[in-house]
Structure 1
Amino acid sequence: MKQTSVADDVLRAALGLFAAQGYANTSVQQVVDAAGVTKGAMYHYFQSKDDLLFAVYDRMLTLQTDHLEAIAARDEPADVLLREACVDVIETSIDFLLEGTVFFRSVHMLSQPRQQEVTRRRRAYHDTFAALLEKGQAEGYYRTDVPRGVIVAHFFADVHYLPTWFSSDGPETKEQVAAQLTDLFLAGIAARPEG
């Protein structure tokens, strides 16, 4: 049987409770009871409920950032890299659908320093994504008549909308959805012949 750490047990319990009854309605005591640990054990890893909510998102964002940085570092045409970046963020957002749903529903309840940290890290991610787009524009793959910020916001709006409709029990796999949304996005920003 696979051994899990106390931190993993606590985080899994917190995620389940935040999803079922909401962040505001969940107490630290409920989390430690569901995880089967003591408060002392929980506080060894997480100083507060605020830390738990941040950690729910941190795992997803760290993974997505690592993936994007690895993609961006490759010496390949921008259209290849941007397509892969789009597919990756959609697939990983589906893999972490519950975490994303819980986090975005409750992010406004994070402490100010934590909200600032999330904003900083999300901006850094979007800047790397926008740099791939800019590279593709310079290489002639993508249209330049729409500001990059608008294009990036358009793509991530689709990503953030996933929890409202995607279901793993649905007719399409995450790979199919990622390919379809990516194709639609890239077709919309493809460079247009002059005239």
Structure 2
Amino acid sequence: MTEPAEATTPSGRRRWTGGYDPPRTRRELVDSALHLFEQEGFDRTSLQQIVSRANLTKGAFYHHFESKEDLLWQIQNEYLDTQLEAAAAIVEEHPDTVDQLRELIRLSLAGVSSYRAHVAIFYQERRHLTGDRLAAVAAKRDELEAIFRAAVQRGLDEGTFRPGLSGRIITFGILGMCSLAFQWFNPDGTLKIEEVADQFCTLVLDGLLA
């Protein structure tokens, strides 16, 4: 299927010559916000900046989102939903405890690479969420953490991992180590994210295995 061609109105606003394309318009707004929220911060980014960078109008924005906070919430969901779906698949496909934890670590680091702006915004800007939106994001974050913790705890319970360790501390350590890689990982650097994941897996599992 051929995508609608892109054109602009005399005012410079975007217009799809093949007809209005809601998914593409929504994507343009999300991508604009991702760039601006990461570079400027949520507070310092105006709605006008978001629509101007996307070459769209405020009317287009309000067709898809209730507010700037709603857009921030949707960005958080986009990242967390992808991670939760992939983590659930790993649990299903890798019954071995060590393999499961290894793949979960790889998933977390792959997310840092593929969703770098999402991850940065998640840690730096989620404080701007309120009410039900904040609760929903916190619930998904807790659900993802629980998947990692279950894998760690199973390894402790079955004796695969060294005794006397705290599953809670191990889980927080793994998640913190992986997620904060967004602060220093350079996708144009000498190491690919897969190589970083290999080293993280060696570091974590060599320390855990009984």
Q: Does 1:55 align with 2:74?
A: yes
Query: How is 1:76-155 mapped onto 2 (pairs within 5 angstroms)?
Result: 76-155=95-174
1:26-74 CA deviation, whole Å, 9 max, x = no partner?
1112111111222222112111101111222211111110011011123
Q: What's the RMSD between the two structures over aligned residues?
A: 1.7
Cα distance in 2, alignment partners of residues 2 and 140 from structure 1:
55
Contact 2:104 2:148 in 1 (8 A): yes
- Unpaired segments of 5 or more residues in structure 2? 5-22
Q: Which amino acid aligns with 2:195?
A: Q
1:58-112 CA deviation, whole Å, 9 max, x = no partner?
1111111001101112362111111111111111222111221123111111123
Q: Which amino acid aligns with 2:112?
A: S
Q: Which amino acid aligns with 2:167?
A: R
C-alpha deviation, 1:2, in angstroms:
5.3
Match of 1:27 in 2: 46
Contact 2:109 2:179 in 1 (8 A): no
Cα distance in 2, alignment partners of residues 91 and 180 from structure 1:
13
Deviates more, 1:73-82 or 1:113-122: 73-82
Match of 1:162 in 2: 181
Q: Which amino acid aligns with 1:161?
A: L
Contact 1:65 1:125 in 2 (8 A): yes
- Counterpart secondary structure, 2:93: coil
Q: Does 1:174 align with 2:193?
A: yes
Aligned-residue identity in percent: 28
Q: Does 1:72 align with 2:91?
A: yes
Larger relative contact order, structure 1 or 2 (CA cutoff 8 Å, min sep 6): 1
Contact 2:97 2:151 in 1 (8 A): yes
Contact 2:105 2:178 in 1 (8 A): no
Cα distance in 1, alignment partners of residues 154 and 72 from structure 2:
35
- Between Structure 1 and Structure 2, whose CA radius of gyration is higher? 2
The TM-score normalised by the length of structure 2 is: 0.84
Contact 2:156 2:167 in 1 (8 A): no
Distance change in 2, residues 1:109/1:37 (3 Å): same
Q: Which amino acid aligns with 1:66?
A: E
Distance change in 2, residues 1:80/1:148 (3 Å): same
The TM-score normalised by the length of structure 1 is: 0.91
- Unpaired segments of 5 or more residues in structure 1? none
- Counterpart secondary structure, 1:73: helix
